[in-house]
Amino acid sequence: MGSTIIEKIVRNNIGRAVHPGEIVTVNVDRVMIHDIFIPFVASKFEEMGFSKIWDADKAVLIYDHLVPASQVDDTRHFRIGNEFVEKYGMKNIHRADGICHQLMTEAGYVKPGDIVFGTDSHTTTYGCVGAFSSGIGYTEMASILGTGTLWIRVPETIKVHITGKLPENVMAKDIILKLIGDLGADGATYKALEFTGDTVENMTVASRMSMSNMAIEAGAKCALFTPDEKTAAYCNITLTEKELDLAGDEDAQYCRVMEYRAEEFVPVMACPSNVDNVKPVAELAGKEIDQVFIGSCTNGRLEDLMAAAEILKGKHVAPFVKLIVTPASRKIYREADANGTLAVLAEAGAIITHPSCGLCCGRTGGILTDGETVIATNNRNFLGRMGTSKVNIYLASPKSAAACAVAGKIVAP
């Protein structure tokens, strides 16, 4: 019997074939800790009695949620993080370079076939390059730092096969939102998603990243794409035979297969206040809005900013609407600056912020209040995520978000 991608990654890691449902201990290739949880990781690590990180070069600490500090106690996290890095000899630390999930692949920390854990539920993102990556709690992170291992349950795989050419106004974000709507918020719990078909083969790594990022919103443990020449170029590597083999076999066992025609996708939004409450934008048209947010680890990449700029070029954001644009990393910020994208956005009235988690985690830069409506390109619209619990958050693609910013109400791009 053949294997799915996740079965191959785990097999390669532990050196024997595995089957779904089995619990195995894997050797961890890389870990990511962000600023919110570093104080807890540090104290658990020491409480456990460790005095050394198993391999300090495999650990990455990224400050992103609290950068720059917006509340008086925030810098405490940086102090504890800096002390931890110093004490245990870590070299990989980013204090203001961008969002953790963007940096992990962009800065070359994750390669195809790697097993990676992070203290953040959106760690699923690195499946975009064919890595098995998933979120864990801070207690487990502390134990990995000490041991270099973690137990996992080998997940069943749901195959999502998409063929054909996407309509002009549809982005990868619309695909993943539609999929989450179809699966439901727990439809992929315990499971791996595996994306196949010429539609995803033709996608950029950045677009694949938007999809793997949001897999957790259907409960998925990870979301995998087969590494190809685009992956190799993005990671700046030559793919080995083992990496090229990270595709689901013809006779692999899938617990479910979902098939889509790309031509049938339409722009959609996740409506308040569940990510699986997904509706076509056309059905929501006309609703007045107060703010638009384009950014986050879901949609703050260069192609997202450029897609928004294409719609905003020569136009202006509607009066009373704030358009907040937050590039996902410093590198993206500089690229968008160099190719004129930021100038187009600024000309159209956008407020362009420093790279960070920004408004997505609801701590800074555009907090809303009761009754207000925001169109946002990030990954969660839970109650209270961007201000009070009576803020209406609609999740959308960068194209939809830009079109709404110009119109001052919900419109399809």
Partner 1 sequence: MKGMDKFTGKIWILGDDIDTDIIIPTEYLALKTVQDMAPYAFSPLRPELAGKIQDGDIIVAGKNFGCGSSREQAPEIIKALGIKCVIAKSFARIFFRNSINNGLLLIENDRIQGDVSEGDEITISINECIEHRGNQYPITSLPQNLVDILNAGGLVKAMQRRNNLKGM
Interface residue list for partner 1 (CB under 8 A): 21, 23-25, 44, 47-51, 121, 135-137, 139-140, 142-143, 146-147, 151, 153, 185-186, 189-190, 219, 221
Question: Which residue has 């993102």 as its token pair?
Answer: 125
* Distance of alpha carbon 133 from alpha carbon 112, whole angstroms: 11
Amino acid in position 375: I
Give whole-number Cα distances, 104 to 111, 149, 327, 392, in Å: 10, 19, 15, 31
Residue (52 or 261) nearer to partner 1, CB: 52
Select 78 or 190, whichever has its Cβ closest to partner 1.
190
**What is the nearest approach in angstroms of partner 1 to the Cβ of residue 261?**
30
Measured from the CB atom, the residue of 47 and 86 that comes closer to partner 1 is 47
CA distance to 11, 251, 257, 378, per residue, from 274 (Å): 36, 36, 24, 13
State the CB neighbour count (10 A cutoff) for residue 267.
24
d(CA 184, CA 186): 5
- Provide the minimum distance between the beta carbon of 67 and partner 1 in the complex, in angstroms, as a whole number: 22
* Structural tokens at position 110: 């994750």
Rounded to the nearest whole angstrom, what is the least distance from the CB of residue 68 to partner 1 in the complex?
26
CB of 186 to partner 1, least distance (A): 5
Nearer to partner 1, 73 or 168 (CB): 73
Q: Which residues contact 405 (CB under 8 A, 6 or more apart)?
A: 292, 312, 317, 318, 321, 323, 348, 350, 375
- The residue behind tokens 């070299």 is 91
We find the least distance from the C-beta atom of residue 188 to partner 1, in angstroms, to be 10
Closest approach, Cβ 130 to partner 1, in A, equals 21
Cβ 192 to partner 1 shortest distance, Å = 11
Backbone angles phi, psi at 222, to 5 degrees: -160, 165
- Whether the CB-CB separation of 270 and 276 falls below 8 Å is answered with yes
The DSSP bridge pattern shows strands 192-196 and 59-62 to be: unpaired
